[in-house]
Chains A and B, each alone.
Chain A
Amino acid sequence: MSIHIHKEIESLKKMILEMGAKVEQNVHDAVVAVDRLDVSEAKRLIEQEEEIINQMEIDIEEECLKTLALHQPVAIDLRIVVAILKINNELERINDFSVNMAERIIDLHRLEAGKFPFDLIGLADIAQGMLSKALDSLIEMDPNKAREVIAQDDEVDDRHAAVYEVVKEEMKRSLDRIDVIIQLPSLSRYLERVGDLACNIAEDVIYLVEGVIVRHQEE
């Protein structure tokens, strides 16, 4: 084994962090665009950003496979490559949710949706905070920070569950706006999924640092 593998791993880390930063920005832009029902921003996310992230995902996967095949990493090196391979996939899926949000914007704009009957931005702040902290835990290789992300998951889940109650009431009150209202739980759902996938990234970081698989464990 040589120093060469460590250069490959450094380059992989750089690639995944670049992708992470880009996905984080896309989620942020999607949330701002939802708040403003900004169709042109939504179109940019759908037409440009998705393709960029998809290509990044493929590039990182190919580099990971090449590193596994050519260097047969073990121990911490193996765990890093496997974690990057998984985080790569989580990030691509998170970006899909920013695209899904952008698609909803176009519909909601067309339907002239007004103010949302619940605090979507509040939920978005928590989900984005989780993603941001999960990526920080990766950069800093900090499992404690990763555990803080996982601890926040229930709050996002609870807020998302509460949205259904608000929407049910809203539907009863405003039958004429049902086309708009019916779309709102999807937005909340996308953000809740961003939180879930941020937790997955945090779990991957814990595995990377400690070698322990914490997924599917009772608290």
Chain B
Amino acid sequence: MNPTDFESVISVKELDFFYGQSQALFDINMEVPKHQVTAFIGPSGCGKSTFLRCFNRMNDLVGDVSITGSLILDDYIDINHKDQDPIQLRRRIGMIFQKSNPFPKSIYENVVYGLRIAGQGKKSVLNEVVETSLKKAALWDEVKDRLHTSAMGLSGGQMQRLCIARAIAVNPEILLMDEPCSALDPKSTARIEELILDLRGDYTIIIVTHNMQQASRVSDYTAFFFEGKLIEFGETGQIFTKPSLKQTEDYITGRFG
């Protein structure tokens, strides 16, 4: 059922996930296409955000959770292995959240935050990273004259793009986006969507969205989840014109969920 005609960057095998005794994900198997945009859709509580957080161990922060099965990055890195350093992992797999969360620092310091933590202090390097990251995040032209003013003065859409710039600054390979536009107005949403399309090709992007039109606009592949199970995974064009399963069709046409 799952498409395989692409290069895979993460291979998910027989993944089960539990919050305490309660199972949230059931036997998930999928390949994440490299340098493509994959959208996760499904009704609230279907497990899509839980699954997204498995990719960079964000569930570690939740507490009483357990996971079996595997997520293998680049054929050899076992994301869930106890010896895998989550901080190292998150440099390769960045995350953008529903609500933009810039630090109460300047725009410049927000972008270089990850690099400074990693020990990079060289001004010329930092300057260059700020410029390239902000350019990639389509924010440079709007903020280049006020890099040292507070990030808290930016609009919601600009803050979200700053968070994308901050994620990009540490040069990740994969970007996880958890409903990145749900708090934005249509114009800012359109800019973020445009940005996602621009970033595709350089980065692998996985986006969780409640907005089905957004999934159909920005993604190459779509995975539909229901009650903790991956129901259907396919090319977005196919999912939105001719899904293979009635359950997928009923969900995307608004007949349930």
Chain A residues engaging chain B, CB cutoff 8 angstroms = 1-3, 5-6, 72-79, 211
B212 and A1 form a contact (CB under 8 A) = yes
Stretch at the interface among B93-101, B107-115, B177-185, B249-257: B249-257
Residues A77 and B253 in contact in the complex (CB < 8 Å), given A1-B212, A72-B213: yes
B254 and A75 form a contact (CB under 8 A) = no
Query: Which residue of chain A lies nearest to B216 when distances are taken between CB atoms in the complex?
Result: A74
Residues A211 and B242 in contact in the complex (CB < 8 Å), given A74-B212, A75-B249, A76-B249: yes
Within the assembled complex, what's the spacing in Å between the Cα atoms of A73 and B239? 13
A75 and B253 form a contact (CB under 8 A) = yes
B26 on interface, CB distance cutoff 8 Å: no
**Number of contacting residues on B, CB 8 A?**
14
Chain A residues contacting B243 (CB-CB under 8 Å) are 75
B241 on interface, CB distance cutoff 8 Å: yes
B240 on interface, CB distance cutoff 8 Å: yes
Chain B residues engaging chain A, CB cutoff 8 angstroms = 212-213, 216, 239-243, 248-249, 252-255
Show 19 A/B contacts (Cβ-Cβ < 8 Å), sorted by A: A1-B212, A1-B252, A2-B254, A3-B254, A5-B253, A6-B254, A74-B212, A74-B241, A74-B253, A75-B239, A75-B240, A75-B241, A75-B243, A75-B249, A76-B249, A78-B241, A79-B241, A79-B242, A211-B242
Within the assembled complex, what's the spacing in Å between the Cα atoms of A62 and B128? 54
Most buried by A among B212, B248, B249, B253: B253
Query: Which residue of chain A lies nearest to B257 when distances are taken between CB atoms in the complex?
Result: A1
Query: Which residue of chain B lies nearest to A3 when distances are taken between CB atoms in the complex?
Result: B254
Main secondary structure of the interface of A (DSSP, over half): helix
Within the assembled complex, what's the spacing in Å between the Cα atoms of A6 and B250? 12
Chain B residues contacting A5 (CB-CB under 8 Å) are 253-254
Closest beta carbon of chain B to A85's beta carbon, Å: 15
Closest beta carbon of chain A to B101's beta carbon, Å: 30
Most buried by A among B240, B241, B254, B255: B254
Within the assembled complex, what's the spacing in Å between the Cα atoms of A75 and B247? 12
Query: Which residue of chain A lies nearest to B240 when distances are taken between CB atoms in the complex?
Result: A74
Closest beta carbon of chain A to B85's beta carbon, Å: 42
Within the assembled complex, what's the spacing in Å between the Cα atoms of A135 and B216? 32
Chain A residues contacting B254 (CB-CB under 8 Å) are 1-3, 5-6
Closest beta carbon of chain A to B190's beta carbon, Å: 15
Within the assembled complex, what's the spacing in Å between the Cα atoms of A78 and B240? 9
Within the assembled complex, what's the spacing in Å between the Cα atoms of A5 and B255? 10
